[in-house]
Structure 1
Amino acid sequence: MGEGVPLRFGILTDSHLSVEGENTTAGTEKLSRAVDALNNAGCSFLVQLGDLIAGSKQRAPEELAAATAILGKFRAGIRHIIGNHCLQLPLKTLQEAFALASPYYRFHAGGFRWLALDGMEVSVLRPPATGEDKAALEGYLLRQENPLWCGALGSNQKAWLQRELGEAKEKQERVIVLCHFPLHPDTSDERHGMLWNHAEVRRMLQESGVVTACLSGHYHPGGYAFEKGIHYAVLPAGICCTGELTEGSLVLRDHLGSTMHHLSFS
């Protein structure tokens, strides 16, 4: 991939598709327009950063069916991230709908290694996978600054992340990280919250020396921070965005084509 030939990809986050009341038509039409726009933009793939559905306890299955039917019209591959609203449905159901062997995973695109994180691995909506995760959950819930709707990376995923970062360093690959929750305190607020163990994860990313950018959702207004060589960009809710990736930068544009962030990797 040359500097003058960007890889264009689409980004959607926090669509919160509902099938209840007057929001049904507006929500489905908005998502349909977004898919049409991303198809017309010639995006090579789509990153769906979580909270695709509203997560109604009674109608979450209908929401998921409606959302995936619309996304099925996107002409290229979709990389899904699971958000907190999604987990009104069983994790297995979501993985099947999103064709995910695991809720956290790696892929390669544009000469970069992409790491998709599962920010709800340790949360009140999932049973702890290990004793360490159970103890961690109990500790997180004692801290007033941790909203109940957020979550954390567990012990298995942190070990996986460390291996992926180490392998990227050995192969001299640069990394882009995807997570539903913001990873930097300057990119969210107290009401929305962020990844519970954001400081620990951020330290892992910084110490690796290979991470260039982290893309997140959850905080609906969107935000940006830069720390120790890593860009932390939170995309605004409910609009389709595009990313244009080259070896030296990532340009994030909104649905009108205006530049929101120009992330330089030099």
Structure 2
Amino acid sequence: MPSPSAPLFRFGVVADPQYAALEPNLALDRYPANSLAKLAEAIAEFNRRDLAFVVTLGDIIDGGWESFDAILPVYETLRHARHFLLGNHDFAIAAQHLTEVASRVGMPSAYYDFAHAGYRFIALDGNEISLFAPPEGDPRRAEAKVMMKALHKAGAMNSHRWNAAISDTQHAWLAAKLDEAKAAGEKVVVTNHYPIFPENSHNALDSDRMLALLAEHDHVVAYLSGHNHDGNFGVVHGTYFINFKGMVDTEDTNAYAIVSVYKDRLEIEGFGREVSRVLALQGA
């Protein structure tokens, strides 16, 4: 049984609200217009709790620059600090706005990190090498095509245009941040829109490379992602890979979570479609 000791801290998680003033996509069971009410419901619950912050794991909107004008005011009702990641749908906008998305939602930069209570949270920009986030003519689009072609040739299931990867520069930054956290005695939680494990058609194009890097670090306790709206879960070398379910899915059932961080475990309280879990921490 979990011990009754108080958690070090708690934080909220939202994945894929994917708001837009659009008709439902019945084939995918997605209701983008309903996400304003679902998000408001989640925030009301978050506001009742003592949370350190709330993280949104990308796909804030389904598309359309004007969609930010409707959903960001809902986030303004949150009484806690908020941290955003961006997803592929956040770039389904007019070309002139592609370089403005991070600043539009108030992010300090496309990827960043922050520390809290002995933990280092690393927020990745999983869209960097893609067919949608860089402007037309940017070499990163060509790099994404090369990666997808190689994956397709190898028979990989994730060689899709809705997936993406981080650059060599960001990969080196991630490695340096992992080393910094280790030196500081911090545990690490990595967040990215794109999952990397278990194998799935929605995984990042650079999943294998990312997994190899994380496997070198025993202080990485969890990797949190969205993108695959069905959710997923796995564990490798003591690191939990938690893919949260999409809020946009289903007409009226919500999906969000509150994570309580204890010295020896993570407790995930799932709401609506989201799964609740108790995850023991290695070496705690």
Residue 77 (1) aligns with residue 85 (2): no
Residue 199 (1) aligns with residue 208 (2): yes
Q: Which residue of 2 aligns with 1:68?
A: 72
CA contact (8 A) 1:252 1:260 kept: yes
List 4+ stretches of structure 1 deviating above 6 A. Answer: none
Q: Name the CA distance, whole Å, in 1 between partners of 2:142 and 2:216.
A: 26
Q: CA RMSD in A?
A: 2.3
Q: Which residue of 2 aligns with 1:47?
A: 55
Cα-to-partner distance string for 1:160-185 (whole Å, 9 max, x where unaligned): 01110111121221100001111113
Aligned length: 255
* One-letter amino acid matched to 1:52: I
Cα-to-partner distance string for 1:111-145 (whole Å, 9 max, x where unaligned): 200101111110011338xx995664232121323
Q: Name the CA distance, whole Å, in 1 between partners of 2:133 and 2:38.
A: 30
Residue 179 (1) aligns with residue 213 (2): no
Gapped regions of structure 1 (runs ≥ 5): none
Identity level (%): 26
Q: CA deviation at 1:41?
A: 2.3
CA contact (8 A) 1:19 1:62 kept: no
Label 1:3 to 1:170 Cα distance change in 2 as closer, same or farther (>3 A).
Answer: farther
The match for 1:248 among 230, 241, 264 is: 264
Q: Name the CA distance, whole Å, in 2 between partners of 1:3 and 1:91.
A: 46
Q: Name the CA distance, whole Å, in 1 between partners of 2:224 and 2:120.
A: 14
Q: Which residue of 2 aligns with 1:110?
A: 117
For 1:87-166, what aligned pairs fall within 5 Å after superposition?
A: 87-89=91-93, 90-127=97-134, 136-142=143-149, 143-144=151-152, 145=157, 146-166=159-179
Q: Name the CA distance, whole Å, in 1 between partners of 2:65 and 2:141.
A: 28
CA contact (8 A) 1:110 1:245 kept: no
Q: Which residue of 1 aligns with 2:22?
A: 20
Q: Which residue of 2 aligns with 1:32?
A: 40
Q: Name the CA distance, whole Å, in 2 between partners of 1:149 and 1:221.
A: 16
Q: CA deviation at 1:246?
A: 1.6
Question: Taking structure 2 as the reference length, what is the TM-score of the superposition?
Answer: 0.83
Residue 214 (1) aligns with residue 214 (2): no
CA contact (8 A) 2:112 2:124 kept: yes
Gapped regions of structure 2 (runs ≥ 5): 25-30, 248-254
Label 1:181 to 1:101 Cα distance change in 2 as closer, same or farther (>3 A).
Answer: same
Residue 264 (1) aligns with residue 280 (2): yes
Q: Name the CA distance, whole Å, in 1 between partners of 2:183 and 2:139.
A: 29
Question: Taking structure 1 as the reference length, what is the TM-score of the superposition?
Answer: 0.88
CA contact (8 A) 1:133 1:155 kept: no
Q: Which residue of 1 aligns with 2:234?
A: 225
CA contact (8 A) 1:251 1:259 kept: no
Q: Which residue of 2 aligns with 1:236?
A: 245
Cα-to-partner distance string for 1:32-88 (whole Å, 9 max, x where unaligned): 111111111232210100111111xxxx12211111010111011111010010012
Q: Name the CA distance, whole Å, in 2 between partners of 1:215 and 1:152.
A: 16
Q: Which residue of 1 aligns with 2:181?
A: 168
Label 1:161 to 1:182 Cα distance change in 2 as closer, same or farther (>3 A).
Answer: same
Q: CA deviation at 1:6?
A: 3.8
Q: Name the CA distance, whole Å, in 2 between partners of 1:87 and 1:236.
A: 20
Q: Name the CA distance, whole Å, in 2 between partners of 1:86 and 1:132.
A: 20
